[in-house]
Chains A and B, each alone.
Chain A
């Protein structure tokens, strides 16, 4: 247990509460907390504080990403940045070839200082064509996507019921939404969450 975690733990158990006081951060409202300096982006326009593409290379703490519109992004990851790859991961999990979405703050030199990075995250809706051992075969717009159940990670959310690691209530023929991590250059996805309407 690092001393940093000790500090965080004692802060929430000692000084924490059931709700965060409104005055905890001055009188900042949500708009201000999200950077009052940044003007709203024009609807329909690209958001400069967001990047999408595939990682071409990783150097020091920077991800070099080629967007689908052929725009090149430099994305800087710092201590406060979260990285997701089927769950929170460390920076060394970012690999060339990974698909990426990142949100942060665009710096004057064009670098995106990332606040959140999501690697290979997909959110696909489709019909369940078949269920085989630990696999859900999804028909996504006519394309077959094989979704893998990952022990200890995958859950099913049946409407607003508490989520369950038990995916066996899913039925062949039903429609679902799969949030998961794409395995690059394949038609396969590891399941983080399956959303089922019933």
Chain B
């Protein structure tokens, strides 16, 4: 069980949260993805509208540890949908959870900005299909708002 640093409810239950969003490949595709497999939910594919969430299970949370960055996120399991909206462009995409990730605790405090709007900490990773809907894949990492559609 993760040590909770506060008795406050997870931030994403209170409303949209802002953070960084990146992309990852899954589904045993080409390149370094060839050994990636179909993610923790067994359904992940790079061409599908899916994402990885840091709190899909206790085992997942023990790897991603968003609490070490001072961020608490609610437990959401495979298939749950989130809306990710790129900050300052306003474009958004709705995806469902297909994997555990990102490794929030390894990038604690990292910030990304679009215009004058910035967000910290990696909260969600999108598949290439989903990320390319709201930003260029070559951008790699973008600030975004995560909400429940």
* Direct A–B contact in the complex, CB atoms closer than 8 angstroms: yes
Q: For residue A124, which residue of chain B has the nearest CB?
A: B32
Q: Is the CB of B49 within 8 A of A41?
A: yes
B74 within 8 A of A: no
Expressed in whole angstroms, the Cα–Cα distance for A27 and B29 within the complex equals 40
Chain B 11-40: CB-based contact to A (< 8 A → 1; otherwise 0):
000000000001111011111110110000
B21 to chain A, nearest CB (A): 12
Closest chain B CB from A179 CB (angstroms): 4
Q: Given A50-B132, A103-B132, are A195 and B140 also a contact pair (CB < 8 Å)?
A: yes
Q: Which of A31, A53, A193 contacts B30 (CB 8 A)?
A: A53
Assuming the A-B contacts A123-B22, A177-B22, A197-B107, are A52 and B94 also in contact, with contact meaning beta carbons closer than 8 angstroms in the complex?
no
* Stretch from A4-12, A113-121, A129-137 contacting the other chain: A113-121
User: What's the count of A-B pairs with C-beta under 8 Å?
Assistant: 144
Is B72 positioned at the interface, with any CB of A under 8 Å from its CB? no
A43 in contact with B81 (CB, 8 Å): yes
B94 lies within 8 A of A43 (CB): yes
Q: Please state if B138 and A118 are interface contacts (CB–CB under 8 Å).
A: yes
Chain B minimum-CB-distance residue to A160: B111
Question: Given the known A-B contacts A101-B128, A118-B137, are A52 and B103 also in contact in the complex, defined by CB atoms under 8 Å?
Answer: no
The answer on a CB contact under 8 Å between B96 and A43 is: yes
**Are B140 and A52 in contact, CB atoms less than 8 angstroms apart?**
no
What class of interface size applies to chain A in its complex with B?
Answer: 35 or more
Partner of B46 from A44, A68, A120, A125 at Cβ < 8 Å: A68
A50 to B96, CA, bound (A): 17
Tell me the minimal C-beta distance from A111 to chain B in angstroms. Answer: 16
Q: Is A46's beta carbon under 8 Å from chain B?
A: yes
Check B102 for interface membership: any CB of A closer than 8 A: yes
- Neighbour of A193 across the interface among B23, B98, B103, B140, CB < 8 A: B140
For the complex, what is the distance from the CA of A192 to the CA of B138, rounded to whole Å?
A: 9
Of A123, A159, A192, the residue contacting B111 (CB under 8 A) is A159
Q: Which 10 A-B pairs have the closest CB atoms?
A: A99-B30, A68-B29, A44-B96, A179-B140, A160-B111, A43-B96, A175-B106, A50-B129, A197-B110, A182-B31
17 contacts between A and B (CB under 8 A): A44-B43, A45-B49, A50-B132, A68-B27, A99-B31, A101-B128, A103-B132, A118-B132, A122-B32, A123-B140, A145-B32, A160-B110, A160-B112, A182-B31, A193-B140, A195-B110, A197-B108
